[in-house]
Amino acid sequence: MSDTDFFDADEKAFIDGFLEKGYAIVPLQERERLDAVRARMYERAMKQLGPSGAKRPSLDAFFDHTERFVPVAKLNDFRLGVIEGLNKDALLRPALFKMARRHIEWAIGSEIAMQRTVNLSIQLPKDKSSLLPLHSDVWSGNSPYELVLWTPLVDCFKTKSMYVLERPESETIFREFSKYKEFDAEKLYRQIKPKLVWLTVPYGHAVLFTHSLLHGNRVNEEKTTRWTFNVRLKGLLTPYGVKEMGESFLPITVRPATRIGFEAVTLKK
């Protein structure tokens, strides 16, 4: 690094890569936090499903083969039950943030607003009921200043993962949207399929991506279940879209200079 640079070399490399592709797969720090989150999820799921003692599957068997314990017909009720418990877990949001903090701050900055609720996706093998068709969240009014932190609780690869259309190609579709406006999501998917990138994300890693990218998932054709968290983060003072400050986001890291500025602004009235 030269003395005239402001970013460190590794930070600059991350920023350049993120600008180029619109996403990054990042290793999580303090991996024991993720193990603890997974263990709490497992206990919550066991409580909901009922098996006890010797009938309990091992933690790994449960996450990899959830289809053996939760039929597709009961998946959504099960998922909602787990989510309800999750969002009462005061440790979850801080844990997700702290594990990826370094790269979040490299991508966003140090003053951050975080979505109030963490979303959970469970995709059983061959299940067609939990699909997220190709979309860009910005097209439905979300702020383009938001990033998504997508954190798997299992190894994710091929159709057990998610796909993205990298930034230059996504921006081309956005610019030429009038050409596609008569398409449905499936037709658009087929059109851009050769350019999509399926993300390989081992347990202990997360994806940080701008939801202006076209992205989605397909039927999980692998042999094991996908479990992933997603939560949105953005610069505290950047513009908000349909997910507003207070309703959907809360400040998590406000610095003193900004707080002093807030005071100065509000004291004028």
Partner 1 sequence: MKKEGWRGYIFSREINGQMIPQRVQNLVLRNYAQKSGLQYLLSATEYHMPGSFMMLESLYPSLKELEGLLFYSISMLPESKAGRQKLYAALAKHRCGIRFALEELTYAKPKDADLIEDVLAVRKISAQADLSLLS
186 is a contact residue toward partner 1 (CB under 8 A):
no
In the complex with partner 1, which residue's Cβ is closer, 109 or 204? 109
Q: Which of 9, 72, 250, 260 binds partner 1 (CB under 8 A)?
A: 250
- Applying CB under 8 A, which part among 40-48, 57-65, 160-168, 248-256 lies near partner 1? 248-256
10 is a contact residue toward partner 1 (CB under 8 A):
no
| Shortest separation between residue 146's beta carbon and partner 1, angstroms | 11
Any residues with CB less than 8 A from the CB of 83 and at least 6 apart, and which? 117, 119, 120
Q: Which of 5, 247, 255, 260 binds partner 1 (CB under 8 A)?
A: 247
245 is a contact residue toward partner 1 (CB under 8 A):
yes
210 is a contact residue toward partner 1 (CB under 8 A):
no
244 is a contact residue toward partner 1 (CB under 8 A):
yes
241 is a contact residue toward partner 1 (CB under 8 A):
yes
In the complex with partner 1, which residue's Cβ is closer, 109 or 251? 251
For the chain, the three-class secondary structure string (H helix, E strand, C coil) is CCCCCCCCHHHHHHHHHHHHHCEEEEECCCHHHHHHHHHHHHHHHHHHHCCCHHHCCCHHHHHHCHHHCCCHHHHHHHHHHHHHHHCCCCCHHHHHHHHHHHHHHHHCCCCEEEECCCEEEEECCCCCCCCCCCECHHHHCCCCCEEEEEEECCCECHHHCCEECCHHHHHHHHHCHHHHCCCCHHHHHHHHHHHCEECCECCCEEEEEECCCCEECCCCCCCCCEEEEEEEEEECCCCCCCCCECCCEEECCCCHHHHHHHHHHHHCC
Beta bridge partners of 208: 24, 149
Q: Which of 50, 53, 194, 239 binds partner 1 (CB under 8 A)?
A: 239
254 is a contact residue toward partner 1 (CB under 8 A):
yes
Q: Which of 113, 124, 162, 188 binds partner 1 (CB under 8 A)?
A: 113
Q: Which of 144, 185, 203, 216 binds partner 1 (CB under 8 A)?
A: 144
| Shortest separation between residue 116's beta carbon and partner 1, angstroms | 8
170 is a contact residue toward partner 1 (CB under 8 A):
no
Q: Which of 138, 149, 206, 213 binds partner 1 (CB under 8 A)?
A: 138
Closest by Cα among 243, 73, 226, 251 to 150: 226
55 is a contact residue toward partner 1 (CB under 8 A):
no
54 is a contact residue toward partner 1 (CB under 8 A):
no
Question: How far is the C-alpha of 244 from the C-alpha of 152, rounded, in Å?
Answer: 26
- Applying CB under 8 A, which part among 57-65, 75-83, 147-155, 259-267 lies near partner 1? 259-267
